[in-house]
Amino acid sequence: MASVTIEAEPTSLAIDLQKTALIIIDMQRDFLEPGGFGETLGNDVSRLAVAVEPCRAVLDAARRKGLLVIHTREGHRPDLSDAPPAKVERGIPSLRIGAPGPMGRILVRGEPGHDIIPALYPAEGEPVIDKPGKGAFYQTELELMLRNRGIENLLVCGVTTEVCVNTTVREANDRGYRCIVLSDCCASYFPEFHAAGLAMIKAQGGIFGWVSSSKAVLAAID
């Protein structure tokens, strides 16, 4: 057993690294770069950039230690058969899901914008979960992958804090996984939502999980 103790809130916790996976959620060009889905919704996509370097540091450390690394991407089939009308039709974006954009069709699998940013690109053999919704467990093989590998703990990074990260953490919590969310490895278009999203996770004795940081995780696993 390779047990380490990670400083976190509301309490520090000891985890077995052999039963721990790093999951990096939706660090896609469509969310982080101009011309993608995030910008079509009227967001300042540059606000997500703060999470990239902390994520890369943790990703590098996880690879050195041989941790299971899983990446996720939100997006839809080219025929949009897995995109609920309520999702496609909501609001007044500049471009809707499936519409042609500067990086290909918006939030469609296989298009350049759907792919993960170069700085965090998956290494050969690292699983990539393509999900049609916010949560990484919904309509995906994520749970099967984790169970088959005996994973009990998840180090969670990605965007956005209050949407796909929070949804995935809640899904994981209901399935019995311990989630440690790395605050500086997550980001939001809305700083106040980032803070609230983290507060919700660690409230009430860690009702959904723990909140830590890249620095604390690197100190523990290196």
Residues annotated as catalytic (active site), given as ranges:
26, 131, 164
Q: Whose CA is closest to 106, among 72, 73, 75?
A: 75
Tell me the two tokens of residue 36: 């993608």
Residue with tokens 């909501």: 90
Cβ-based neighbours of 18, under 8 Å, separated by 6 or more: 1, 2, 150
Vertex 74 angle, CA 179 and 130, to 5°: 85
Q: Is 85 exposed, middle or buried, given 0-12, 13-18 or 19+ CB atoms closer than 10 A?
A: exposed
Beta-bridged to residue 179, according to DSSP, are 154
Least Cα distance to 4 among 96, 25, 12, 21 occurs for 12
> What single-letter DSSP state applies at residue 117?
P
- Number of H helices and E strands in the chain, helices first, is 8, 10
211: left (phi over 0), alpha (psi -120 to 50) or beta: beta
Phi, psi (degrees; rounded to nearest 5) at 23 = -120, 125
